[in-house]
Chain A
């Protein structure tokens, strides 16, 4: 709102001072005008007098103008008869420019003069300044003797100034007095006329002070009342207009706040989503991008805003995709998957979807494109791993099934006639069924662990009895005939908190492997050691061992040794993977050392109760 408060009355008391100054100015102007007019008329009179006198004297004979020595010259006589107080001098100069007759006013020195060079200067006038600074107008005229120019006549008059003569003082004083007397009269008249304006000013000032516009009421002349009426109406109109504008401004501010809030809310939502979002305007410039653009596309967020994609995108394939959507937004319904090398040179797989942005008021008008980038690298890897897992499972399941199928067919074809073939087929089928059952058990356990369906139900486990039992089962297995089993457990080995069923699977898998990969006459042993905070269970064999280049992969799911001897033993590549998962569920570690053709040692290390508590917390 406009601030009227700084507007104050300029002070009506200055009116009197202004009028006095105006009257003084008027007096000065009148005096100067009168004196100028007086000077001009005197000059005109001098010129007329000088010219006529010069012409008259020029017509007289030289001898008459120049009197013999000792006699009064005509020039002197004329000079003496002159009443004009401006008459300065009259002189006759001969051709040698020597004065032959001079009549001058007291105190006036006749200035020197050059002889007129041409006839144009013979009858003329000029203005000269004397040594004392007086301005003289001089009239020249030739003087004839016997029909020829014998000399020159010079008449000089003092040019009048602007001064006031003593006689003029009363006139000017009277004039000034009249003007001074009229000044108060004018002042009173003007003050009477401006009184309503003062009243109006006072009311307006009050209205400004109170910040309330109201009707201005005062007694004034008809014209002034009319003017004030119109002025008041104008003020009312202005007030209404200001009120209206203020109302509109409030609405605009409210709308702006709402829009800002909505924009901020939408931007916050767009910032929160895990996808990178890019909004292009009609000209293809980026008008919005969330901060995920930095991590997914590998470009600084600040570089993207307000610029064309070509300015920040150095990936040709990505730029081609973005450009396609920005140039043809109507085709942006399409989505595609691209594998891109972005930013940190990391290969990423992106799902790119673009949508045209329609005008809210005109659904046929497109004003930009919304492009959403989703990093599906991890998803794709998981899908691929799942596919590979299923393929591995199919292979591992079909391998024993294949053997079973072949054996069954062999029994049908020739087994009935050949007892040796029948026994061999039965043995093979038994082994493969066991293998199949073990594979399915391990698969189920792994799936439960991976999907979180399994929970570790810890209970106090007497390790001595538990390990003795597991070792006994392994030593009585079908393939244990030619092996020596050594169990060395301290009688006072501590108890641990563990899931008995899960830990049994892990120990069984280690012992089964030890038996499976042992050679006839080999030794399978198990011991248990205690440290301050942990318990170590060691399973050793003197079997074929693991090649050094395979040792980094033996815990990989479905990995089976490429060693020919190892291949002779049936397996499915899940036992060690599952054993490690189970030990890790107990916050323990499974490590191993192995030497080819000498054997392997696997060590399960599990925390005792106190150490376990620290690990869990």
Chain B
């Protein structure tokens, strides 16, 4: 069972997404901000990270950059949900691999298929690599 970590400062979003993804068979953990997410990742590395970008204290962008810095060999994909569509708001992600932007409003169906696609691709890469 794949484990997904959801990070969002909106409890409503966390609640609805958690229920939808659990229904899909994922094991879902949630974090209300970036700090909590970093703590959970350091304890148990998820298979997929889905994070909002605009959050207090540690934003989604800082969370991704810190993960990239502390875990250069990270394998799990990161989905970043954002309401900012301009490319200039996404330039920071250029050096981070396996990162996909999700434009709000998020569709669970699209997220589900994207996760499946990326997870399968990673599995293929791992099997070829081994």
Chain A interface (Cβ within 8 Å of chain B)?
391, 394-395, 397-399, 401-407, 409-410, 413-414, 421, 425, 428, 431-432, 560-562, 564, 567-568, 570
Contacts and interface: CB of A to CB of B under 8 A. Distances in A.
B13 A406 contact: yes
Given A405-B106, A409-B20, A410-B20, A391 B84 contact: yes
A406 B84 contact: no
B14 to A, nearest CB: 10
Given A394-B84, A421-B19, A432-B12, A402 B106 contact: yes
A409 B11 contact: no
Nearest to B11: A568
B83 interface: yes
Contact of A409 (B10, B15, B33, B108): B108
Given A406-B17, A406-B20, A413-B20, A398 B105 contact: yes
Interface in B1-33: 9-13, 15-17, 19-20, 23, 32-33
Interface size class of B (residues with CB under 8 A): 20 to 34
Interface of B: 9-13, 15-17, 19-20, 23, 32-33, 54, 56-57, 81, 83-84, 89, 104-109
Contacts of A431: 12
A564 B32 contact: yes
A562 B12 CA distance: 16
A402 B53 CA distance: 13
Contacts of B10: 399, 402-403, 567, 570
A389 to B, nearest CB: 13
B107 A567 contact: no
Contacts of A560: 56
Contacts of B33: 562, 564, 567
A326 to B, nearest CB: 35
Q: Of residues B12, B84, B104, which shows the largest number of chain A Cβ atoms within 10 Å of its Cβ? A: B12
A182 B9 CA distance: 138
B19 A428 contact: no
Contacts of A428: 12, 15-16
A568 B30 CA distance: 14
A168 to B, nearest CB: 130
Given A394-B83, A395-B83, A414-B23, A406 B56 contact: no
A561 B32 CA distance: 13
B16 A425 contact: yes
A567 B16 contact: no
Contacts of B19: 410, 421
Nearest to A421: B19
A404 to B, nearest CB: 7
A402 B108 contact: no
30 contacts: A391-B84, A391-B89, A394-B83, A395-B54, A395-B84, A397-B83, A398-B83, A398-B104, A398-B105, A399-B13, A399-B83, A399-B104, A401-B104, A401-B105, A402-B106, A403-B12, A404-B105, A406-B20, A406-B105, A406-B108, A409-B107, A421-B19, A425-B16, A428-B12, A428-B16, A562-B56, A567-B33, A567-B56, A568-B11, A570-B12
A290 B32 CA distance: 57
Contacts of A410: 16, 19-20, 108
Nearest to B54: A395
A251 to B, nearest CB: 64
A391 B11 CA distance: 21
Contacts of A432: 12
